[in-house]
Structure 1
């Protein structure tokens, strides 16, 4: 579960996110949408405890992020599309093991989880190769694996299919569906509206740091008498929408 209650984040007195409130329930997949600079990455970084809110409260898996940041980090998996966070001189296996250690896993659990994830993501053949020569898709598989090696209850994904080929992007989409079936809470940002429509139960749309929509896709389509998510999105951010 994720809860944001009147969250504001300012940088040098300029709000990046302002008065943001929404929830993501257990087993729910929610798409976080907005133009560049709308506050999506800032929001995800606050939820993950990388940033602290200037005002308001964030709760993850029943833990307040300001009071229990370390415990929150153990319960979440996070992947930023442009930042795989991998060490190029280490093998894929060593990268996953390193992050497993950071999450407090013992060696046996790390070995078991690594083998499970390697099979799941079809990466067994390059598991013991150094990451430095990997393609974008291979890197992303390793990055996802190290993000979920500790089997987190909450998964945060920021533009996770950015730069991926169609095969790797489809793998990610299947993974989101599998995570949901396992009861994980998933919040991900994307510019690909077809991806959001296919995977998400609800959408949260930001414009210039403020909430302009929070609800089911069906309610969004009904309100605009259209099923063209691209056109609806452009209309909302073009006019500023309504809370």
Structure 2
């Protein structure tokens, strides 16, 4: 969809430095046609208007507390996340993590959300009313530690602008995920389709519909074959 009247909003670093993401492959990154003829708004997280949202440097985009742009660097130079206020009484927020995390297993479990002893809805058999034993997944965790994510960013080899910064951004997502009134969503989480309602329906009442709790461990369905192999042995 082409929206010629729209603004292009980027981190102040992206225009000059994006080319280092994958040198000699995306030689024309960023493509000037992507922002030519549009108002280009470059965000500077080093200025006086920067505030802290959890661990993130943030900018109040509209100046009214409704929408914040977050510095989510690491995946690429200038990678951005966002936080939208969904309700004010009670306060609730949706944090859009974009590509800061590619699979929820990079973010969960954590010290804030350890792997629970019982998981509901059942990630392997969602039609069941009974909870799923968390112990089914413990052998897949690093050293069986229920406070560490299933996945870690690969070193070396990942095509990230800065792996250390990407790791720190992941921790910031985990901290936000620990808040009961924050719904953390990431770009590639296909499991959300089974829980949330999509545009043009509203997401403002996610807390009342309990989307953040219902979807938190749904990614564990990806490990179904590993669980079956373990049971067969």
Q: TM-score, normalised by structure 2?
A: 0.30
Name the structure, 1 or 2, with higher relative contact order (CA <8 Å, separation 6+): 1
